[in-house]
A and B are shown apart, each in its own frame.
Chain A
Amino acid sequence: MLTLQQHIPVKTPTAGQPVITISHLNKSFGKNAVLKDFALTLNRGEHLVILGKSGSGKSVLIKCIIGLLQPDSGSIEVLGEEITTLEHDALDQVRAKVGFLFQSNALYDSMTVRQNLEFPLRRHWIQVTQLEVDHMVQEALEDVGLAHTIDMMPAELSGGMQKRIALARTLILRPEIILYDEPTAGLDPITGREIIDLIMQVRQKYGSSALIISHDMNCVRLTADKVIVLFEGRPYATGNYATLERSEDPGVKQFFQ
């Protein structure tokens, strides 16, 4: 069982150490080989973007990282733990340190905003008092600028607000790593821009590392320290935005037009 103090990450993380290391990752569904010998390294404090077409296996990749999907073979090390072989309780402990912003937000629609935010806190067995819970919920909501929605139902909120509440729920456990699954998909450009700004504010405030999945070039340009192009199940090209933008390779070029 974790306590709040044990759980909150140290404020000055050692920069540069890998927090996620993936190697030789393979995953197929029947005859559909989605990931083939995939590899990546995410370093502490870094924001890494995975760029790939729709259906290229980006969601499959991050679902493997958090243990929602079991890969066929390969190694996934998250915060020093090998995810693919972890027992249930140990897996939960790693999951408590990794935030996941789902593509479809995944807000519990039978619960209020407050209950949605309290859910991961209470379920991860962290011993906290009601006062601390209230305080953390309040702070997470203020982080996304939606403190006034605390007693509303998700269905009463707009798409952009739902995304922000989902982000607040992701932040409530102060994750060391945040996985963003297409954070701007399905939003209009202005709302998308607000989410991008929030991602950068979160980075400023918490110093978290992040893996961002996207094919929204605006989002890639503004958030990425490093970009990996996922193409045909493999890490096709790696570099920062500026170098990839100048690439003559057709597999890379298609994203920058």
Chain B
Amino acid sequence: MQLPVKTRHFLEEAGSLSAFMGRFLTSIFKPRFEIGEFFRQCYVIGYRSLPLIALTAFIMGLVLTMQLRPSLIAYGVESQLPAMVGIAIMREIGPVITALIFAGKIGSSIGAELGSMKVTEQIDAMEVSGTNPFKYLVVTRTLAAMLMLPVLVLLGDAISLYGAYLGVNIKGATSFSLFFTQVFNNLAFSDVLPAFIKSFFFGLAVGLIGCYKGYYSSKGTEGVGRSANSAVVVASVIIFLIDLLAVQVTDALGVN
């Protein structure tokens, strides 16, 4: 049976990405551990994406609140505004938007960085200098992305809620403490924990796909551009797929 070329291409890509992930998982626990490089990457990845994530999170909280208000007024439940916004941000919008921004910023830069290291033989040079480039480059970056994204999501959530608080205060006043009491009274642990857990997977996807695309970049400057680009596209799609899967899991476990 002859599969159509595009289908075969897709399956090959999925297969080699899975193999790459397998290699990542087995490399984590084997020495030598590149601790220094890992912490450097945590700093670089967190620091580089924080301003953008803070800005978008703030705007999103503010706009979401302003958009929801008329509908809630129409149903006569304006007092539920903080609770509504809080749930929307913490459960879904915060993690997903932060992950998408993260993919755009970090996924592309990892893809471009490793891609250019590949085409200029820097990865080969590492290998002959007593260094396992997979551990030094891929494991450190993927782990750093995986650990930093949940932290960034929490920060982004907090900033979004602050934006929402300002949004509520544009028309009609509420105190800071009243707003946050209303938000958190309506949030259960089961709202926050699954969102937190899925952001680890979002981070894993962004880091791993950025590394994969860069590590197998084709020759030439064009190849590097393509790596960066497809790192973002593929990671973004996978973020939504993980999101879809996560909601099925929480649903099945009855943690809604």
| Interface residues in chain A, defined as those with a beta carbon under 8 Å from any beta carbon in chain B | 63, 66-68, 92, 95-96, 98, 100, 102-110, 119-120, 123-125
A95 touches B128 (CB 8 A): yes
- CB of A57 to closest CB in B, whole Å: 15
- CB of B132 to closest CB in A, whole Å: 8
Q: Find B129's partner among A104, A110, A124 (CB 8 Å cutoff).
A: A124
Q: Find B120's partner among A104, A119, A124, A125 (CB 8 Å cutoff).
A: A104
A124 touches B130 (CB 8 A): yes
Main secondary structure of the interface of B (DSSP, over half): helix
| Interface residues in chain B, defined as those with a beta carbon under 8 Å from any beta carbon in chain A | 113, 116-117, 119-122, 124-131
- CB of A228 to closest CB in B, whole Å: 23
What are 28 A-to-B residue pairs whose CB atoms are below 8 Å?
Answer: A66-B128, A68-B124, A68-B128, A95-B130, A100-B125, A100-B128, A102-B121, A102-B124, A103-B121, A104-B119, A104-B121, A105-B120, A105-B121, A106-B120, A106-B121, A106-B122, A106-B124, A107-B122, A108-B117, A109-B116, A109-B120, A119-B126, A120-B129, A120-B130, A123-B129, A123-B130, A123-B131, A125-B130
**In the complex, what distance in Å separates the CA atom of A92 from the CA atom of B126?**
11
**In the complex, what distance in Å separates the CA atom of A107 from the CA atom of B122?**
6
The 6 closest A-B pairs by CB, nearest first: A106-B125, A106-B121, A120-B129, A124-B130, A123-B130, A102-B121
Which residues of B lie under 8 Å from residue A98 when comparing CB positions? Answer: 128
Residue of A nearest to B132 (CB): A88
**In the complex, what distance in Å separates the CA atom of A72 from the CA atom of B226?**
31
Main secondary structure of the interface of A (DSSP, over half): loop
- CB of B250 to closest CB in A, whole Å: 40
- CB of B118 to closest CB in A, whole Å: 10
**In the complex, what distance in Å separates the CA atom of A151 from the CA atom of B158?**
41
Which residues of A lie under 8 Å from residue B116 when comparing CB positions? Answer: 109
Residue of B nearest to A108 (CB): B122
Which residues of B lie under 8 Å from residue A68 when comparing CB positions? Answer: 124, 127-128
B125 touches A96 (CB 8 A): no
Which residues of A lie under 8 Å from residue B127 when comparing CB positions? Answer: 68
B130 touches A102 (CB 8 A): no
- CB of B127 to closest CB in A, whole Å: 6
Which residues of B lie under 8 Å from residue A103 when comparing CB positions? Answer: 121
Which residues of A lie under 8 Å from residue B117 when comparing CB positions? Answer: 108
Of B113, B121, B131, most buried by chain A (CB within 10 Å of CB) is B121
**In the complex, what distance in Å separates the CA atom of A125 from the CA atom of B132?**
13
Residue of A nearest to B122 (CB): A106
**In the complex, what distance in Å separates the CA atom of A202 from the CA atom of B180?**
71
**In the complex, what distance in Å separates the CA atom of A104 from the CA atom of B131?**
19
Q: Find A102's partner among B113, B125, B131 (CB 8 Å cutoff).
A: B125
Which residues of A lie under 8 Å from residue B120 when comparing CB positions? Answer: 104-106, 109
- CB of A78 to closest CB in B, whole Å: 12
- CB of A210 to closest CB in B, whole Å: 16
Residue of B nearest to A94 (CB): B128
Which residues of A lie under 8 Å from residue B125 when comparing CB positions? Answer: 100, 102, 106, 108
Which residues of B lie under 8 Å from residue A120 when comparing CB positions? Answer: 129-130
Residue of B nearest to A121 (CB): B129
Of B113, B124, B129, most buried by chain A (CB within 10 Å of CB) is B129
Which residues of B lie under 8 Å from residue A124 when comparing CB positions? Answer: 129-130
